[in-house]
Chain A
Amino acid sequence: MNRTMKLAGVLLVAVFLIAMLFPFFWIFITSFKSTGEIYGEGAFRVIPREPTLQNYLTVLFEKGILNAVKNSFIVAGTTTVYIIAVATLCAYAISRFEFRGKNLLLGLILAVSMFPQMIVTGPVYNLFHDLGLTNSYAVVLPYSTITLPTSVWILVTHFNQIPLALEESAKIDGASAFQTLYKIVFPLAAPGVFTTAIIVFIAAWNEFLLTVTLNSDVRYHTVPVAISFLRTQFEILWGQVTAATTIVTIPTLLVVLFFQKQIVSGLISGSVKE
């Protein structure tokens, strides 16, 4: 009985792994197929008959996928830096100070994280249009709707785990509130801050709706938007789509490989209570 259970478990995990990885595997091999093979009898062949790098050369040098990767790094990097700064201050105050309307503020932050993004997009589009901010990196500002609430939430959880005694002794030694935050709390909270930063980075990297509406200019397209534009109404060049997908999955893969502990801890402290 126990053995069969174990076997069933292993089998289930195997099925799961195959289901998760198969799409990536198929995209990967297709990216090396020639156009003739993709759209011909070779469509379902596992090993390309004549492997070619043509798809990669096209997306890299003609479709400007590298520019999209650059934009994504700029946008996601900027968002991460300023959101972390703003969220740290806010979360610290929530965690450490007593003030009126604190529950209201927490409720508000939770509510904002539940807003449909679409409700923000229309007015922000008009605002950016009037201020001449469309087609610019200013798109990182409205990214705050999707990243700030989660960040504050995760950081409050982390700050609450840091004992107050350390700060009290800093205060006795004459440190100001800002000094306490930067010299005592921040180093102790560094793992939590880092976790939050990765979650924010991934969220900003993956954002689609705001960029597609605010930045119609191809020069400002981020990875998700640029890739979605490879598929047009009239032609779907799967070879290029698969090559581009393979290229842009690499950064994500690296982040996941190196920071999976932080990601998991971030996901959990952002949602599950211990």
Chain B
Amino acid sequence: MRRMGWKGFLFLLPALALIAVFSLWPVLQSLTYTFFDYRLNNQQKSGLYLSERFNADLFNETAFYVGMFLEEDLPSMTDGADVEEAKRLLADLQRISGQYSEEKGVIRISKEQKEEIEQFYKAAKPKLEEWNRKYALKNGENLPLLLDDIKDSVIPSNFVGLDNYKKAFTDPRVGTAVWNTVLFTAVSVFFEFLFGLALALIMNKAFIGQGPVRTVSLIPWAIPTAVAALMWGYLYDGSFGVVAKIFEQVGLIQSSTDLLQSPGWAMAATIIADVWKTTPYMALLLLAGLQNISPSLYEAASIDGANKWQSFVRVTLPLLKPSILVALLFRTLDAFRVFDLIYVLTGGGPGGSTETLSVYAYKAMFGQTNFGYGSVVVMVMFACVAAIAVIFVKILGTNLMEKN
């Protein structure tokens, strides 16, 4: 081992840069989102505004039209006092908008400037409503709406502190999503482990056809999850799906449409698809562990009079423990983060019965464009994933790292 000089640091730099920009920064950014009422589809909430801001684009555009429309409507006013008043408003507007004609985007403005704009709005709004009643103005319908945009150019802070978290703790949908995620993870990892271990034990006994079995095992693992989900979507189809039909014939379900339409069976269906896709992966990991156990240990056990079961419990399991824990850690984390499979297969339905945390977070962020609240849901998932990882690493001890 050499001590690393500055040149050595160049080896690390590209990887560090990628991790910083595409892994660490987004996590901090997501955390920041959770403290704001941050919605992309709402002009006043489409940024992170710790203090008040001013939407210069919106203001300039609106001020231009308000001025133009008001001027257009001047001839329709008959009362001289009203005309005077309207002219005064126009002058005010011109004076105010003069300050911002060079500005673009969302900017900061002083308290006085903000009050100036709000006062203009307060003065103009009742007048416009009054004139609308009095005269038949050409732009009578549009003007008050435009005026509201002037008020909306002043963006209030959308910092909400812990409100999003408070909302999440009382949101039954979050509770359901946590439960669905835990259920999906626990049941699918349990069966994957059971089947995977059985398969690994069989494959460890040299027999003809081990090669083909390994090849076949790798195909479900290697195809995209989204594709696998769609395949199963067809097999589960209520009218034309062969698996749904078989389940009906065997008597597991009353009608083949139940498979994806009833809450309990929809969850079972996603778990079956996941077990199908990842059992082989589990088997391969465990097989690698099994192959590291020296045959002489089994010989010694059998000389000591141990039967097959005893040597499995006393020799295989203890020596396989590290492999088992690592395989379980990887699979538990993967299952907990499940997205593609459920999003494509059930979309979280029926009635949210298969909606996991990642699916809910995705819907909140990209369906409702509510990034603030969606990020809180992500954080809940992040906390769970971290807890799972810490528990496993504690059990595994430091031996996960000692090799390096």
Contact = CB atoms under 8 A, between A and B. Distances in A.
A233 B8 CA distance: 54
A108 B404 contact: no
A124 B22 contact: yes
A9 B205 contact: yes
A189 interface: no
Contact of B404 (A122, A156, A230): A156
Contact of A273 (B18, B226, B234, B403): B403
B25 interface: yes
Interface residues of B, number: 98
Contact of A109 (B19, B227, B339): B19
A89 to B, nearest CB: 4
Given A118-B358, A119-B26, A268 B374 contact: no
A265 to B, nearest CB: 9
A126 B85 CA distance: 45
Interface string A57-90: 0000000000000000000000000000111011
A contacts with B: majority SS: helix
B240 A98 contact: no
Interface string B1-33: 111100111111011101101111111011001
Given A26-B235, A26-B242, A90-B14, A271 B285 contact: yes
B218 interface: yes
Contacts of A267: 281, 284-285
B389 to A, nearest CB: 5
Contacts of B1: 96-98
A122 B30 contact: yes
Say whether chain B's binding surface is mostly helix, strand, loop, or mixed.
helix
A12 B198 contact: yes
Contacts of A126: 29, 371
Interface string A221-240: 00111011011000010100
Interface string A242-265: 100100110011011100100110
A160 interface: yes
A27 B234 contact: yes
Nearest to A143: B22
B222 interface: yes
Contact of B225 (A112, A206, A248): A206
A117 interface: yes
Nearest to A253: B219
Interface string A156-198: 1100100000000000000001000000000000000000000
Interface in B207-265: 207, 209, 212-220, 222-227, 229-235, 237, 239-240, 242, 245
Contacts of A202: 222
A177 B4 CA distance: 11
Interface string A121-151: 1111110000000000000011011001000
B323 interface: yes
B401 interface: yes
Contacts of B242: 26, 43-44
Interface stretch (B89-97, B122-130, B186-194, B361-369): B361-369
Given A17-B216, A86-B14, A103-B401, A115 B225 contact: no
A145 B30 CA distance: 15
Interface residues of A, number: 97
Contacts of A90: 11-12, 14-16
Contact of B4 (A13, A93, A119, A145): A93
Contact of A119 (B3, B212, B237, B378): B378
B213 A17 contact: yes
B199 interface: yes
Nearest to A1: B308
Contact of A268 (B195, B224, B284): B284
Given A13-B209, A122-B365, A248 B227 contact: yes
Given A118-B378, A205-B224, A43 B239 contact: yes
B348 interface: no
A127 B215 CA distance: 41
Nearest to A206: B224
21 contacts: A20-B216, A39-B239, A93-B4, A96-B2, A98-B2, A106-B401, A114-B386, A117-B358, A118-B339, A118-B362, A122-B29, A122-B378, A123-B25, A123-B26, A123-B29, A142-B22, A224-B340, A231-B230, A249-B227, A257-B215, A264-B218
Interface of A: 9-10, 12-13, 16-17, 19-21, 23-24, 26-27, 30, 38-39, 43-44, 85-87, 89-90, 92-99, 103, 105-112, 114-126, 141-142, 144-145, 148, 152, 156-157, 160, 177, 202, 205-206, 208-209, 213, 223-225, 227-228, 230-231, 236, 238, 241-242, 245, 248-249, 252-253, 255-257, 260, 263-264, 267-268, 271-274
Top 3 A-B pairs ranked by shortest CB distance? A90-B15, A97-B4, A123-B29
Given A86-B15, A114-B386, A126-B29, 12 more contacts: A43-B240, A89-B14, A116-B358, A118-B337, A120-B26, A121-B362, A123-B25, A123-B30, A202-B222, A224-B226, A256-B222, A273-B326
